[in-house]
Structure 1
């Protein structure tokens, strides 16, 4: 159910001059369009991705759209622990980091189960990599939050989680792997981690908010064509346009991530998604039992179990005690 919230003008975003944001998976899709939108606000935007050529293309595309933008790029592959630790060490050395959008992910899982660093590929990419990265970057976010309110981590959820009914998790999918199950379970786990991070950050008094954004049903085939970033085929355009009544562009989907990151009205534990669930303007929604997107993933027992699994799988312990008020 949509919560009453202040109007949000996606064309005239609040000034973010002096603030620094990181976006994972910024070389295409939602991540690119979120970076382009943030670049208009005066913020310094750090684009991350695993392919240097695509990073260069994405950054160049943003500079063509926003010539005065302040951007940089950093190599980061969320499927590789070494890459995560290296990028995090670089980012922790910066003077400030106001927010991160944990956007990178596998949207179309492989037909057969694959692994990355000993874990199921979709799980490693969508869940474990971002859990480890957020934990590694918590010191940088907390230091900024202690000086200037508003530090946030934004997790990317999905409308598909509304179809998830189970509390019995099998994260590695060693038996019964299916493409749809791999994706939906990964997004369920992301939302459970976001809710658990919110509880733990609040309990420890760490000045960093954990929020969820979901893009509704956003398609590249309904998005602007951009050389080196988004170049859908004619067939992809045709099929996407057939779904126009229920789908929107990646640009529109990205507005939810951006609002979740910079809107002062978004509080710890909130979710931002399209007003029509599948499409529409970004709105703040309740994260409670009345919201089918979060009814199970918001349960403390589910969050605690997901957290324990990720701590063990990534060998990452978030330093809450060091940065509590």
Structure 2
């Protein structure tokens, strides 16, 4: 058993203030889907703390609008865009090369596709679109980012899950949802796959003696009508804001939904394998660490998902101790 003196100290944050973030100057962070929604506010808040932020997005025009919006609110913001299409696995290495970085402090795996209605759709690689983009795309991206993250002591992989994943289970015999396709269930399963990936990655990082940490977050409930305007890509009318005010007692805007991911990137007291979520019933409020849901601790299912993901993508995120 190690002596007390041999256990490395971990900086503690007694009270996390979402409006007074620690200085992040010098940190470099990639945010997938950082051009809109929750990802945009993750990028805006990190840039406000001084980090250099890269928006990973398929849509160059929307990324440029997001960069202009951040620049209008954050003097001297350091934000740029890299083309990123998680539904095209063969393109991901080129996207990582286009970062032009020799180190990376964190990646926030935030981008996602959510379909509400049939028909079932597929990625360029023939995978069901939501599972292929939300999980397999981020799985493969992490593989390509591993050298940059390994080069950076204390780097972090922050994976965005969802409250929707709490009530579903994976079907390991039908990960592609080819039978009895139900869009909302398929989306929830894709988010559960991401969450299991984050925790299996944490186990593998610790086993390898890596200083990179894998942190899981979920944003709670987030509505556009409770989200402050960021024209031109999001404009909230006065009528929408007033009509939805009662919902603010239960859920929140996407600016607040970004808080768990921002804390997971910047708070040195958050550790790998932990889950950060909104304080009030996991739906709204300041971010805190919370116990893992029971089915997230299923390491057998997570390991089988990992093996299947390796087969489906042709790659495996591997981290070695620096």
State how 1:40-189 maps to structure 2 within 5 Å.
40-91=48-99, 93-116=100-123, 117-145=125-153, 150-165=154-169, 168=172, 170-189=174-193
CA RMSD, aligned part only?
1.9
Q: From the superposition, tell whether residues 169 and 32 of structure 1 become closer, same or farther in structure 2 (CA, over 3 Å).
A: farther
- On the 8 A contact 1:5/1:283 being kept in 2, the answer is no
SS at 2:90's partner residue? helix
How far did 1:44 drift? 0.6
Instruction: Give 1:212's aligned residue.
Output: 216
Q: Which runs of 4+ in 1 moved over 3 A?
A: 107-110, 165-169, 232-242
Instruction: Give 1:21's aligned residue.
Output: 29
1:324 and 2:321 equivalent?
yes
How far did 1:259 drift? 0.4
Q: From the superposition, tell whether residues 77 and 240 of structure 1 become closer, same or farther in structure 2 (CA, over 3 Å).
A: farther
Structure 2 gaps, min length 5: 1-11
Normalising by structure 1, report the TM-score. Answer: 0.90
- On the 8 A contact 2:170/2:189 being kept in 1, the answer is no
Distance 1:153 1:300 in 2: 19
Deviates more, 1:235-244 or 1:6-15: 235-244
Q: From the superposition, tell whether residues 209 and 221 of structure 1 become closer, same or farther in structure 2 (CA, over 3 Å).
A: same
Q: From the superposition, tell whether residues 118 and 240 of structure 1 become closer, same or farther in structure 2 (CA, over 3 Å).
A: farther
Instruction: Give 1:310's aligned residue.
Output: 309
How far did 1:203 drift? 0.3
How far did 1:238 drift? 6.6
Q: From the superposition, tell whether residues 236 and 188 of structure 1 become closer, same or farther in structure 2 (CA, over 3 Å).
A: farther
**Deviation sequence 1:51-102 (CA, Å, 0-9, x none):** 01001000000000102111111111111113312111233x5122100000
How far did 1:324 drift? 2.3
How far did 1:228 drift? 2.7
Q: From the superposition, tell whether residues 197 and 108 of structure 1 become closer, same or farther in structure 2 (CA, over 3 Å).
A: same
- On the 8 A contact 1:167/1:296 being kept in 2, the answer is no
Distance 1:173 1:114 in 2: 10
Distance 2:180 2:259 in 1: 35
Instruction: Give 1:282's aligned residue.
Output: 287
How far did 1:240 drift? 4.4
How far did 1:32 drift? 0.2
Structure 1 gaps, min length 5: 288-293
- On the 8 A contact 1:6/1:265 being kept in 2, the answer is no
**Deviation sequence 1:234-269 (CA, Å, 0-9, x none):** 886576445332110000000111001110010010
Normalising by structure 2, report the TM-score. Answer: 0.91
SS at 2:61's partner residue? helix
Q: From the superposition, tell whether residues 24 and 165 of structure 1 become closer, same or farther in structure 2 (CA, over 3 Å).
A: closer
Q: From the superposition, tell whether residues 166 and 132 of structure 1 become closer, same or farther in structure 2 (CA, over 3 Å).
A: closer
Distance 1:236 1:81 in 2: 39
SS at 2:277's partner residue? strand
